[in-house]
Structure 1
Amino acid sequence: MSYYVGLDVSVKSVSICVVEADGSVIARGEVSSDPDQIAAFLFRHAPDAERVVQESGILSIWLTRELEKRGLPIVCIDARLAHKALSGRLNKSDRGDAEGLAHLARTGWFTQVHIRSETSERIRVLIGTRERLIKMRKDLEGHVRGVLKVFGICMTGVRRANKRQGFRDQLIKAGAVDPAIGVMVDVFSPIHLALCSAADAMDVELRAIARGSDLAARLMTVPGVGPIVALAYIATLDDAARFKKSKDVGAFLGLTPRRYQSGEMDWSGRISKCGDRDLRRLLYSAATTLITQVKKPSPLLTWATRLNERKGFKKAAVAAARKIAVIMHCIWRNDAVFDPSMEGVA
């Protein structure tokens, strides 16, 4: 007999519902968010479960991996689409949501979410740490610049040399203007140095990982793509086989226009901005580098430059970011390096 299971997961507990192929409920329960307790309940009430479904959420990645290790056919589904299916109920409860998820498991009306490998998640942790350190440093510098303008002090631009020592030199010089600024200097200077040092250390770590990866080295042959972009791309996509066509990567990353078609109305809007925001931002940065800094001639650069002149920088950078993402997938899938002829494929 086939059993289908729905798990409504919260931080502390999990509501479980087991249904048969005809939709009849045969077991309900609530256990703590412990994979061992969840597995014990399912082995007792649904020993031959056909499918176990949970929504994507805070614990979904960890819980999916742990339940897979225990031999359960766990599937993580898109929470947004599941919500639309479950929102037709008049009353909402964890018990009702678990039953609704069990019926989705039975009917197959869901979209499965890809669970990235632990290796990819580790790289994403390092990249995320670097991005957070840079953001904290920028916030601190912006706050200091704003405060000093009140006293008529305008700080000049700062280079990256020596962990942005120029910023701290200007800050120390400004500390002589007012005692309050002096206190701020004593507090913020060591923090700024620590943030710059930590960000540089993360850069060194990520560059070392990129040097040890043949795939990252091949992706970096694309004009504008550096080690951070290459590693973020690998860690986010995780598996090139997920996409039947390289062009699907652009839509996956939210770099294609939205479309609305109904009757005689059919229009395309701005890009959807679905998918991973951080990778989309990094690809935009790579496209900016391509348009503004890359000097080596290629059809990709020629196309991006002409689009910049015709449509403006922002639209050209977004289009170039999508094209770079598609080319990188072609390189990954075909075990190749960048070839200018790939510009036509994208």
Structure 2
Amino acid sequence: MEQPITVGVDLAKSVFQLHGVDAEGAVVLRRQLRRSQVLAFFQNLPPCLVGMEACAGSHHWARALGRFGHDVRLMPPSYVKPYVRRGKTDRADAVAICEAVTRPSMRFVPVKSEETQALLLCHKAREFLVRQLTQVTNAIRAHLGEFGIVVAKGVHNIGRLLEAGDRADLPASARQPLRLLAEQFFQTQEKIGELTREIRREAEASAPAKRLQTIPGVGLITATALVATLPDVMGFRTSRDLSAWLGLTPKPHSSGGKERLGRISKMGNRYLRRLLYLGAMGVITSRRRGQPGEDWLWRILQRKTAKQAAIALANRMARIVWALLRNGTEYEAARAA
């Protein structure tokens, strides 16, 4: 068998499908490997170009195969899908990956280090716990509302709500489940605090995260999430490419020479997009409480709703993030204005 120079790997939980071609494009490798056989196979293979879809476990395999001298490149699955000729099988996916990785116009996903993935794990675990905290809060509020006990909305008012429940004349059978929900609420809140402190320690040791926090609306959580998700912004040619990757640019619907721009595409990293949007809403809320100005944000607020203005501001924040990470500078308010 001739040695392949390009190999497409369709990742899976147990059985991996491989497809390799030589310098002339002829197929020289079609093989299935068990998970335990992958490292031994590539260790005995001469260095070649290896393509994979960016999915669960892909960064681990990219690091592992890279130690053997292979040039491993990760691609977004949506960019590989057009190369699938017919049907949806592991073999067809491997063929498509092998072809897509050689395209000059293909965009690749940078391989993340273990430290970067660990920081992202903190963010994902914290986001999961925040969702759980919201669920527990809604459950407590709904159950006490059945007994006519209602206080103002917000997580910070749960203490008042529980105190009102303790003072109320509730049946004994209702106090036990409410006590358990209250314990889960405070335990989840404590776990979120632990992860937040861990993220704060990472931010204090990261120079890029400190620079990003100088941007209005970008706080501790947003800065560290951006640094961990965007280890190398050089993959984005312009600042608009980054905002488009985050799904903050209008989605075009053009035909017959007529340009039509719709709503934002909402593609890309949903977590980062939400953080930027929330930061932008915070800036707009504080701005409305202050004095009006003559800058572009105030002019937008005169014509658009607060949510529409927040999208525009989040788009601008993403472009500033690109500039700061690319140039290694800090935010300058006068220059931005």
* Structure-1-length-normalised TM-score: 0.87
Q: CA deviation at 1:168?
A: 3.3
Letter in 1 for 2:223: A
Q: Distance in 1 between matches of 2:102 and 2:225?
A: 36
Aligned pairs (5 A) from 1:1-346: 3-34=5-36, 37-42=37-42, 44=44, 47-49=46-48, 51-86=49-84, 88-89=85-86, 91-106=87-102, 110-157=106-153, 160=156, 165-174=159-168, 176-293=169-286, 302-343=295-336
The answer to whether the Cα contact below 8 Å between 1:6 and 1:101 also exists between their aligned partners in 2 is yes
Q: Secondary structure at the match of 1:208?
A: helix
Letter in 2 for 1:117: S
User: Percent same amino acid among aligned pairs?
Assistant: 28
Q: CA deviation at 1:48?
A: 4.6
Q: CA deviation at 1:293?
A: 1.9
Q: Distance in 2 between matches of 1:298 and 1:131?
A: 35
Letter in 1 for 2:53: E
The answer to whether the Cα contact below 8 Å between 1:287 and 1:321 also exists between their aligned partners in 2 is yes
Q: CA deviation at 1:139?
A: 0.8
Letter in 2 for 1:18: G
Q: Distance in 2 between matches of 1:190 and 1:231?
A: 30
The answer to whether the Cα contact below 8 Å between 1:53 and 1:74 also exists between their aligned partners in 2 is yes
Q: CA deviation at 1:71?
A: 1.7
Q: Distance in 2 between matches of 1:303 and 1:66?
A: 49
Q: What whole-Å deviation, never above 9, does each CA across 1:33-70 have from its counterpart, x for those lacking one?
A: 24xx32433455x5253x11122222212111111122
Letter in 1 for 2:179: D
Q: Distance in 2 between matches of 1:331 and 1:297?
A: 28
Point out where structure 2 has 5 or more consecutive residues left out of the alignment. none
The answer to whether the Cα contact below 8 Å between 2:251 and 2:265 also exists between their aligned partners in 1 is yes
Q: What whole-Å deviation, never above 9, does each CA across 1:53-98 have from its counterpart, x for those lacking one?
A: 1222222121111111222122212211211210x32x44322332
Q: Distance in 1 between matches of 2:105 and 2:97?
A: 10
Q: CA deviation at 1:158?
A: 5.1
Letter in 2 for 1:315: Q
The answer to whether the Cα contact below 8 Å between 1:54 and 1:75 also exists between their aligned partners in 2 is yes
Letter in 1 for 2:190: S
Q: Distance in 2 between matches of 1:112 and 1:329?
A: 18
Point out where structure 1 has 5 or more consecutive residues left out of the alignment. none
Letter in 2 for 1:29: R
Q: CA deviation at 1:121?
A: 1.8
Q: CA deviation at 1:277?
A: 0.6
Q: Secondary structure at the match of 2:253?
A: strand
Letter in 2 for 1:38: V
Moved over 6 A (4+): 295-299
In structure 2, do the counterparts of structure 1 residues 158 and 169 end up closer, same or farther at CA, with 3 Å as the change threshold?
farther
In structure 2, do the counterparts of structure 1 residues 27 and 334 end up closer, same or farther at CA, with 3 Å as the change threshold?
closer
* Structure-2-length-normalised TM-score: 0.89
Q: Secondary structure at the match of 1:275?
A: coil
Q: Distance in 1 between matches of 2:314 and 2:205?
A: 25
